[in-house]
Structure 1
Amino acid sequence: MTPVSKSDSIIIVGAGAFGLSTALHLAQAGYRNITVFDKGAEIPSPFSAANDVNKILREALEAWKTPLFAPHYHQTGFLHCVSEAAPQKAVNTLNSFRASAERHPEVRKHIVPIDSRDDIIGAVRQFQDGSLPGWKGYLNQYDGYAHSSNALKAVHEACIALGVQFILGEAGDIAEILYETPTDHANHQTRKATGIRTRQNTTHNATLVIIAAGASAPNLIPSLGTQIVARSWSIAHIQLSAAEASSLRGIPVTYARDLGFLFEPEPATGLLKLCPMGGGFVNTDPATGVSRPPDALADSGFVPAGDGRRLRRLLAQTLPGLADRPFVGERLCWFADTADSDYIVDYVPDTSRSVVLLSGDSGHGFKMFPIVGSWVRSLLEEGDGNQKVLRWRWKSPAVDLAGNWGDAVSWRVGSSEEFRDIRASRS
């Protein structure tokens, strides 16, 4: 089968970071018939893991400095440490990150060793009241963060200007991919997608369907099994006054590998974002072993008690004046996880190269927002249809979800917990 032509109809399911980036890169490359569907009523979609005030950036930074993305990139630096209570796995991860940065010919010039509390106070005066017990690591002045929701809005507008169509809300809620009747080629059954059907029972035809639906991808591609698992991490905020927010302006992204991380406050709202470190939460169906996000966003509108305690410790050690302030905007952020924490950018097997899966952000994919769509374009334009990056291929056989699926990923500290258990503990 020849690659999709630039006049063929292309449907992208999902208007989060991966879907929007794909629409942008394909439209910029001259693909003229692109429609993006999302069940969220607006962009950024409330169902997107990237609908947030900020995300850590450590990669693709040159792309973040290009005109479309630069307004949303903030090079505040990245203070990466462990406390005196950190487990060895956290220490090893920090050392691995540091070694990688120090090997980079450009980044290594921006690495500042952090060997004591005085080193931190010298670099970040706002932490002068913090105890910072045993904190050690490094400050990478090359890195920073992006205002993620604003970046999504900017790319959405750019896509519209390039002729991309968007169908949002109830009309954009996809029920299934539609296929032709399967054919038998040498006893190996194949089928070809013809489009999608919405939950309003409306059919839209397409030559190619790209699924960028995050943690909900298994709903549309059942053959994924447990290759993609819905996992969540907690997010909380503290509402600061204008004066408090101003006093923290310019602080680096501060990541205690064993506790969590925080950002400079969002200028428009004064919200200080906090995220705890841990293994995260899965929502496993006992009958199938597949983890999917809860049906209603409201079900995830809380921070589990253990995560809340970690955030209080993070604040007590850095900004103790805020340690007892109430949390606002608490929620669990669901994302598409893979066992090896790597992406899937590949054709779905046995679909005659008519369905592409773009998934596996594993909680760290947003940093690639400016370039991830180029990976899809490269796949489409490979004449033989094979994903040349081996680690991004379809990840069969599926793995077993039992117990600690995904916990072995090197940079994660802690073990998975079941969503039903933490939800029950609140009642």
Structure 2
Amino acid sequence: MVSSESKIIIVGAGVFGLSTAFWLAREGYKNITVFDRCAFDKNYYNPSNGCDGASADINKVFRMAYWGKLEYQALAIEARDVWLSWNKRIAESGPSDLPAGLTPEDKLLDMCGCYFLAAGPTLRGSYAESLDTMERTAPEFRKMQFVKGNAEDEERLGIIGAKWAGKHRMVQKFNRGNTNGFVDVNAGFTIADKACVYARFLCEQDGVKFVLGDSQGKIETMVVEQRGQQKKVTGIQTCDGRSHFGDLVIVAAGSWTPSIIPEAHRAIEATAGTVMFIDIPRHRQDLWEPFHPDNFPVWFYQKGDGDDYFEGVGFPITKEGRLKFGFRGRKVSEAQCSCYRLMIQMFGCRAVHQFPRPSHRTQSVCSKGLPMFAMHAHKRSRISTPRTKYSNNPIGTVPLHGLSLMKEVVAEAFPELADFGFTDSKLCWYTDSIDNDYVIDFVPGYSDSLFICTGGSGHAFKFLPILGRHVKNRLGGVSDQFTSLWKWRVAEGGKENNGLSEGETGPREMSNLQMADPRDFKFENAGVVSKL
């Protein structure tokens, strides 16, 4: 059993790794070291500085509306209180009392409100379920949610503040106004990069050590000993050739986790959402003002079915003038070869290092002369692995399908933006589980020496201040409401498994998709559309 004296290694300094380290340190664990390939002490989690993990982002949705998922709703309500307390602590701090990359003017949570909208006049079933759940379990927060078209709710909203009428006007052009939904004035967005900077700062104050940057912070492989039918992880080896030993290794590496833990590809999969940006020049204050968080909400929007299904999100303008739009109605995967690391796990470093390293991307077998005894491992080792602007094989575009739907929605809802077109793109890599619940548990077969902490499925960042408490509970053998929900589980034959069973021949594999050309970023007939 892990104790406060145990030497703990955490791989990954994103939301799962930071929150885990924070809560373990608060509980009195004295020997925690977090490794990450990104030099977050120098780039401050800013995605424009070369960060490509999901946590290193300009903003993330904060919501408490969770359809019928009561556990997550309660967790979000609890997290909200901590976010607001962090806002207060930062505002009351002197500049010298804050870490580099953060100022007293920075807010980690901005409650600009969130509109949940869907095409058509009838309230969407998931929205109705969310409102009903909130009414039954947290009525004081339900009072801060207002249904579109409900005269009583709209009157109450007007009493809260005149600004909400203006925010409603900003999103009323979706589907030419023929929409259903509600606004939650207690929702909004977190500034993700600033939040991670602050969380890492709090961890360091409690004694957590960080080893960051390539190659000293980048894991090459786990150090595994075979003990009869069981294996035991005794540490990790980083890409600078050093070995680091500990009593427990926690892998919280997000979408890179399946390439570190061989068994994890049956429990989670790296999938990407399409993210697009529009950069507004500073001299266009006529657009900066209406899209400012004081005047513009976060929005969700759903419409259509099948190939025409759209599920997207948009954010207010950032301090740098950037508008962010996301689409995840259809996910993307990218099968790559991870056989080298998997072979090391199976056969040990000495047995593998004598052979040439395989190419970054292969077909069914490696062309670099791998030994025959490794072929079985190799054939199993093509798993979805993030490919970003900063990968060895970089990518600077997105699937055309999602981009086309986003252009249609944005041009309709915000015609004043059409002349700009999209100015930048990003594949945001998530870690999907088989059911969109997290995977936080000991990995079977490793004598309680290996722990997995991931599976965010695109909805974890809001829990940064509180998630680690439940990780701590699981590590300490304390059961709570999330123990069974987040237990280790794998895809089963004959079930949908949230797409994890599709593999590299499935419809979302990137090599099977048409990718956008930079010319596709422009809106067709933009000059005409912008005058609608």
Asked if TM exceeds 0.5, the reply is yes
* Deviation for aligned residue 1:407: 5.4
Q: Closer, same or farther in 2 for the Cα pair 1:317/1:114, shift >3 Å?
A: farther
**Which stretch shifts more, 326-335 or 123-132?**
123-132
Paired letter, 2:18: L
Q: Greater shift after overlay, 173-182 or 226-235?
A: 173-182
Q: Is the 8 A contact 1:115 1:135 kept in 2?
A: no
1:406 to 498, 505, 529: 498
Give the drift of 1:366: 0.8
* 1:307-386 equivalence runs, <5 A: 307-382=402-477
Kept after mapping to 2: 8 A contact 1:11/1:206? yes
**What letter matches 1:151 in structure 2?**
A
Partner of 1:44: 45
SS at match of 1:248: coil
1-structure distance, mates of 2:174, 2:488: 46
Asked if 1:290 corresponds to 2:383, the answer is: yes
* 1:69-108 → structure 2 map (5 Å cutoff): 71-84=107-120, 91-103=124-136, 104-108=138-142
Cα displacement string for residues 163-209 of structure 1 (whole angstroms, at most 9, x for unaligned residues): 211111211110111123313xxxxx112221111122210011111
Structure 1 residue runs of 5 or longer lacking an equivalent are 184-188, 409-414
- 1:162 and 2:203 aligned: no
Give 1:400 deviation, angstroms.
Answer: 5.5
Q: Give the alignment partner of residue 173 of structure 1, picking from 205, 209, 218.
A: 218
Please state which structure has a larger fraction of its residues in helix. 2
Q: Which residue of 2 aligns with 1:412?
A: none
Residue 26 of structure 1: how far off its partner (Å): 1.1
What is the CA-CA distance between 1:246 and the residue it aligns to? 2.4
The answer (yes or no) to whether the contact 1:339–1:399 under 8 Å persists in 2 is no
What is the alpha-carbon distance in structure 1 between the residues aligned to residue 142 and residue 515 of structure 2? Answer: 47
State the partner residue of 2:243.
Answer: 203
Give yes or no for the alignment of 1:34 onto 2:35: no
Query: How many Å apart are 1:340 and its aligned residue?
Result: 0.3
**Match for 1:44: what amino acid?**
Y
Number of residue equivalences: 405
Q: Which residue of 1 aligns with 2:527?
A: none
So what's the TM-score if we normalise by structure 2?
A: 0.70
8 A Cα contact 1:114 1:136, kept in partner: yes
1:393 to 487, 491, 499: 487
Q: Give 1:63's match in structure 2, choosing from 56, 73, 82.
A: 82
Distance of aligned partners of 1:265 and 1:173 in 2 relative to their CA distance in 1, 3 Å threshold: same
Residues 45-54 or 219-228, more deviating: 45-54
Call closer, same or farther: CA 1:305–1:128 in 2, change over 3 Å: same
Question: Between the two proteins, what is the percent identity of the paired residues?
Answer: 30
Shift of 1:123: 4.5
Q: Find the aligned partners of 1:130 and 1:136 in 2 and give their Cα distance.
A: 10
Compared CA separation, residues 341 and 152, structure 1 to 2 (3 A)? same
Within 2, Cα distance between the matches of 1:350 and 1:181?
10
For residues 477 and 222 of structure 2, the distance between their equivalents in structure 1, rounded to whole angstroms, comes to: 24
Q: What is the aligned partner in structure 1 of residue 95 from structure 2?
A: none
Q: Structure 1 residues 264 and 302 mapped into 2: Cα distance closer, same or farther (>3 Å)?
A: same
What amino acid sits opposite 1:174 in the alignment? I
Deviating more after overlay: 106-115 vs 387-396: 387-396
TM-score normalised according to structure 1 size: 0.86
Q: Secondary structure at the match of 2:469?
A: helix
Q: Cα 1:132–1:146, aligned 2, differ >3 Å: closer, same or farther?
A: farther
In structure 2, the partner of 1:54 is: 59
Distance in structure 2 (CA, Å) of the matches to 1:304 and 1:121:
36
C-alpha distance in 2, partners of 1:146/1:101? 22
- Post-superposition, which runs of at least 4 consecutive aligned residues in structure 1 deviate over 4 A? 119-123, 127-131, 385-388, 423-427
1:14 aligns with 2:59: no
SS in 2 for 1:98: helix
Task: Tell me the secondary structure at the aligned position of residue 330 of structure 1.
Answer: strand
Q: Secondary structure at the match of 1:361?
A: coil
**Residue 421 of structure 1: how far off its partner (Å):** 2.1
